[in-house]
Amino acid sequence: MSIFLRRCLPALVAQSRLHIVRNVQAASTQTISSQPPLGTNASDETQREVQHHAKMATDWWDKTGPMKALHALNALRVPFIRDGLIARGNIAEDLVGTTNVLKGQKILEVGCGGGILTEQLARLGASMTALDLSDELIEAARKHLSQEANPKLCDLINYRIEPIESHAKDKQNHYDALVVSEVLEHIDDKVGFLQASVQCLKPGGSIFITTLNKTFTMWFSGVVIGEYVIKAAPIGTHHYDKMISPLDVQRILDTMGCSTVLVNGSTYDFWRNSWRWINSTQMCYALQAVKTEI
């Protein structure tokens, strides 16, 4: 370990631990109850999350900026979603192996941010509905899409500033697939959020989730090193108390009639700005679950 890390890490760890303790203490003072729908009635913590990410809207599409890790993550998550749908038999055989492999698939992305993943799935032919709570991020997504030379791509994407709870009221059993990528670690009421999301999914459809595991390894590497030392993400982007293990996600989805069929572990190499699959979920993970046929 370098002299710099030996000298600085104790202070960084203490600072990050204090931040976590404060979050836990604040959460413990709240009455345990179902939260109101997101939007104008969003909790203070949800509004803070939205505002935190909205500050990065102007740099969202800078592949060397604060969102560079999300851009790099497409190399894993796009094939994960594509191959997951193919494996479940959702894709017509004549489309497999083509550039329009997701043609005809209606996909809902919840928490789309500035559209980094949305556009890539649309480029494979998917009909995308993408939701986010941030006006600034949806504006950034729409602006980037408006600069697209391919007019067909614009027709395939519908960006909406709307909470999933509201969207679910009119879109039950509507989508072929559901994507929640790098979002769950920012959600307070994960059960309510996932319940509303799953309601939008057709029986037999797949939900794809990528998120951070709730482990010391992830906290130390992703928060202490990632935010305080490497500056791979702005300080305050991730919070240990909001992370969740793949087992807990599976348990929640089980209660909603969704059977987990695949869990892959992944990690981010800061120095290379690249992601890779690993034989462990101690860091991050990608999960696919299928909604039970009715």
Encode pLDDT of 26-45 as tens digits. Answer: 333 333 233 333 444 567 87
Estimate to the nearest angstrom the gap between the alpha carbon of 79 and the chain centroid. 15
Instruction: For residue 30, give the nearest of 44, 42, 20, 16 by alpha carbon.
Output: 44
Rounded distance between C-alpha atoms, residue 213 and residue 201, angstroms: 24
Which of left, alpha, beta for 222 (phi over 0: left; psi -120 to 50: alpha)? alpha
Q: Which amino acid is at 276?
A: R
Indicate whether 32 belongs to any domain: no
Residue ranges at the known binding site: 77, 111, 132, 181-182, 185-186
Indicate whether 241 belongs to any domain: yes
pLDDT reported for residue 98:
97
Query: 83-92: which pairs have CB atoms within 8 A and are 24 or more residues apart?
Result: 84/206, 84/208, 84/261, 84/262, 84/288, 85/176, 85/177, 85/206, 88/204, 88/206, 88/261, 88/290, 90/176, 90/177, 90/204, 90/205, 90/206
Indicate whether 121 belongs to any domain: yes
Please, what is the average pLDDT of the chain? 88
pLDDT digits (tens, 9 = 90+) for 167-201: 999 999 999 999 999 999 999 999 999 999 999 99
CA-to-CA dists, residue 274 to 81, 183, 224, 251, angstroms: 18, 19, 19, 30
pLDDT digits (tens, 9 = 90+) for 7-23: 445 544 454 444 444 44
Indicate whether 1 belongs to any domain: no
Q: Could you tell me the pTM of the whole model?
A: 0.85
What is the extent of the structural domain holding 222? 46-291
pLDDT digits (tens, 9 = 90+) for 111-167: 999 999 999 999 999 999 999 999 999 999 999 999 988 889 999 999 999 999 999
Indicate whether 89 belongs to any domain: yes
> Structurally, how many domains does the chain consist of?
1
The one-character DSSP state at 39 is S
Indicate whether 180 belongs to any domain: yes
CA-based angle 49:243:57, to the nearest 5? 30
pLDDT digits (tens, 9 = 90+) for 194-228: 999 999 999 999 999 999 999 999 999 999 998 89
Rounded distance between C-alpha atoms, residue 222 and residue 240, angstroms: 10
pLDDT reported for residue 234:
83
CATH of residue 241's domain is 3.40.50.150
Rounded distance between C-alpha atoms, residue 164 and residue 6, angstroms: 45
Tokens of 60: 């969202």
DSSP H helices in the chain: 3-28, 44-54, 68-87, 116-123, 135-146, 151-156, 164-170, 190-199, 216-218, 246-254
Indicate whether 199 belongs to any domain: yes
Residue ranges at the known binding site for Mg(2+): 182, 185-186
Indicate whether 19 belongs to any domain: no
Q: Which amino acid is at 53?
A: H
Residue ranges at the known binding site for S-adenosyl-L-methionine: 77, 111, 132, 181
